[in-house]
Amino acid sequence: MFRGIYTATNGMRTDSKRIDVITSNIANSQTTAFKKDVLVTESFPEQLMVKLNGVENNLRPTRQLVNVDPPADFQTNDSIVSIEITSGYFRMEDRHGIGYHKSAKITRDEEGYLRTALRDSDSNTHAKFGAYLLDVNGNPISAPDGAITLLPNGILQAGGQDVARVITAVNAQVIGTMNGGALADRSMINFNQGNLDPTENPLHVAIEGKGFFKILDMQDNQIKYSRNGGFSINPEGILVDYSGNVVLSASDNEISVPEGASKIDIDKFGNIVATVDGEPEEIDTLGVVNIANTESMIKQGESYLTMADGIEADEAEFDGQVLQGYLEGSNVDIISEMAEMINLLRGYESGQKVIRSYDDIMSKAANEIGKI
């Protein structure tokens, strides 16, 4: 009974956090270059339910029917493999503890360990937050490059080599698994492109494709990233963003616009040409870069992004294009966000009814059945 209350409560807490995220998205639907947040949820680790004795007394090796789809090659660390068994369990460990599962989607992380994976809005594979696949001794599994194979005896092979026994088998004492519901694990940024809106302002630029402008924050002297190209020229002739912070060049220097420039042209590569006394003069190139590890970026303020503590930005060559006279809009779809909020409110209301029903049952158990 109490487990049902906990499950309903966790569901309501998760729905509440989702509503908060959606509220923030809707509030910023008109913010230039705003990227919406997506709440990532996880279920609590599945725990074994046994009739008698402890779990340890019921574990024993056996032969299983297994399925690996597709036969994977992890040479690029970008493949996701679905593994599934008909009896027994895989043991998976994350920061919430060890859980037991009959199927999993795994990949190799940067250190070679097998972990559960997800794909972001750009179809990139991430294992940074995934659960570790454990062997029967409870150790994380490091797998070499090569195709993954799961044998009927529970041995996992990588590149034709035996790596570890991964199937935890149980006898009839175990009757299944129990789940404690879902929880809000973290928030991720959806980097999908927003609409490109024309402004006819020569100092407004938008990025088409992936990439970020490099901005020097004058308050803390730290480099930050942004897709808000609402630039202007300050009284000192320096190109700055909407907050007055310095827009950096490709060489990480400030961009100085000559006094008396009558026209500013910016091509698709970010090259800036100023017309002075009727003559074109190339003055600099916008600092625009791709970031390979966007999953480690966090928001700061309205349009700035920085890297999480202890993580360096993996900058790569910019392969999109810069559009002069445009600004990128928010990538928030208000209609879909509102529809999702309505569904969440209904789910929250259902959770309230479940808890109210449990409360009525416990009240009767204490006040009526107890009298008999």
Q: What is the pLDDT of residues 252-282, one digit of tens each?
A: 999 999 988 889 999 999 999 999 988 999 9
Per DSSP (E only), the strands in 217-276 are 223-226, 232-233, 239-240, 246-247, 263-266, 271-276
pLDDT of residue 124: 66
Cα–Cα dist 176/199, whole Å: 61
The residue written with tokens 């705003």 in the block is 34
Is there a contact between 360 and 353 (Cβ–Cβ < 8 Å)? no
Is there a contact between 286 and 247 (Cβ–Cβ < 8 Å)? yes
Give Cα 140 distance to the centre of its chain: 23
pTM of the model: 0.74
The tens digit of pLDDT for each residue in 22-81 reads 999 999 999 999 999 998 877 666 766 666 555 444 444 444 444 544 443 344 445 778
pLDDT of residue 82: 82
Residues 28, 87 within the same domain: no
Please state the rounded mean pLDDT for residues 117-139. Answer: 77
Residue 93, pLDDT > 80, answer yes
pLDDT of residue 100: 85
Cα–Cα dist 100/119, whole Å: 22
pLDDT of residue 271: 96
Residues 189, 335 within the same domain: yes
Segments forming the whole domain that contains residue 26: 1-42+183-193+331-352
Strands 212-216 and 288-291: antiparallel
Residues 277, 336 within the same domain: no
- 152 domain residue, yes or no: yes
pLDDT of residue 63: 45
- Structure-block tokens of residue 349: 């209301």
* Domain total of the chain: 3
Strands 182-189 and 37-43: antiparallel
Of residues 182 and 276, more confidence is placed in: 276
Residues 293, 348 within the same domain: no
